[in-house]
Amino acid sequence: MRHTRHIILLLLICISIAAVSLTASGVPASSFTLNHGDWYDNFGVNRNYYGGPDGFVPNLADETLGENRELAYSIGERFQNNYPSKTERAVAILKYVQTWTDYGYDEDNVVRNGIVQTEWAWNADEMAHAFNETTGITAIGDCEDMAFLGGTIYVGAGFDAALVLAHEHVALLIWLPEYPNADMYWDLPNDGRDAGWIWVEATGQTNRLGWTPQDFETGGWTAYPIGPLEFTPAIQPKPETTSLDFEVMAFIIFMIFLVLLALSRSKRGR
């Protein structure tokens, strides 16, 4: 009987150690495999390319949400507990990401197997573990790295969030129609809502919440839901040229024609 108890005790100890080792894993992507020149993590996400079924947009967000949530999500939960006001919480999260990240090009900061990576994406937990609030160390990343970090924190803080894939850029949107200081309130196709999405741009230290970079004000980018939010990704349509624009252009051309005609007659008169 004593021998049996010892075996049971040993098994319980082993199970406890295994459980601790699993929950203590700080970074969900634990290994990387080189395949046809691109690096894939253990979730099967291509860290070198954004598009396609294996691309990092939006697939990389799943590595730090749901059953895989860890440090970045817990940071969001902390903000939710500390900021009852949703608008103040949203502003504070952007400031936090801007404070603890610095923009850097992949080719200057990412090397694997001695090879410089001209394109590389980090997931939110990898970024969250790269900075240290105690020592003041910041994490270095580019636009998609900051978008993934911010996206997971915002979802953990109780926001609906969507990744934006634009031309050579990745950014973030959050649903916050009550926010008073956005320059644009976006209406995404297929989300079942009216306008109320605001832009989150963490790539600049002074970018304010709700500021949409001029290059993307006219649409032409695609929004992907992250976390529990569900809608079919769709391209944000660019504004159509109205008939008024054609009328104005026609009027200007007509006026130019009249001026040229008057000048021509004036020269003939001389």
The reported pLDDT for the residue numbered 22 is 35
pTM for the complete prediction? 0.80
Residue ranges per domain, the chain?
21-235
Least confident of 17-21, 35-39, 144-148, 193-197: 17-21
The reported pLDDT for the residue numbered 27 is 60
- Identify the band that residue 30 occupies on the pLDDT scale cut at 50, 70 and 90: confident
- Three-class SS state of 16: helix
Per this entry, what is the length of the chain? 270
Cα 55 from Cα 40, distance rounded (Å) = 9
Strands, E assignment, the chain: 32-35, 38-41, 101-103, 111-112, 115-116, 139-141, 161-166, 169-175, 197-200, 222-226, 234-235
Of the candidates 176, 210, 218, 224, the one whose C-alpha atom is nearest the C-alpha of residue 196 is 176
Amino acid in the structure at residue 7:
I
Of the candidates 160, 161, 157, the one whose C-alpha atom is nearest the C-alpha of residue 77 is 157
- Identify the band that residue 161 occupies on the pLDDT scale cut at 50, 70 and 90: very high
- Identify the band that residue 21 occupies on the pLDDT scale cut at 50, 70 and 90: very low
Cα 91 from Cα 208, distance rounded (Å) = 8
Percent of the chain with pLDDT over 90: 76
The string of pLDDT tens digits covering residues 63-107 is 999 999 999 999 999 999 999 999 999 999 999 999 999 999 999
- Identify the band that residue 29 occupies on the pLDDT scale cut at 50, 70 and 90: confident
Contacts of 74 (CB under 8 A, 6+ apart): 156
- Mean pLDDT computed over every residue of the chain: 86
Find out whether 224 and 57 touch, Cβ atoms under 8 Å: yes
Q: Report which DSSP code applies to 29.
A: -
Q: What is the mean pLDDT of residues 120-126?
A: 98
Q: Which residue shows structure tokens 């099967």?
A: 44
pLDDT at 9 > cutoff 50: no
Q: What is the CA radius of gyration of the chain?
A: 26
Cα 112 from Cα 125, distance rounded (Å) = 19
Q: What is the mean pLDDT of residues 21-50?
A: 82
CATH of domain 21-235: 3.10.620
pLDDT at 10 > cutoff 50: no
The reported pLDDT for the residue numbered 255 is 66
pLDDT at 160 > cutoff 50: yes
Amino acid in the structure at residue 126:
E
Amino acid in the structure at residue 255:
M
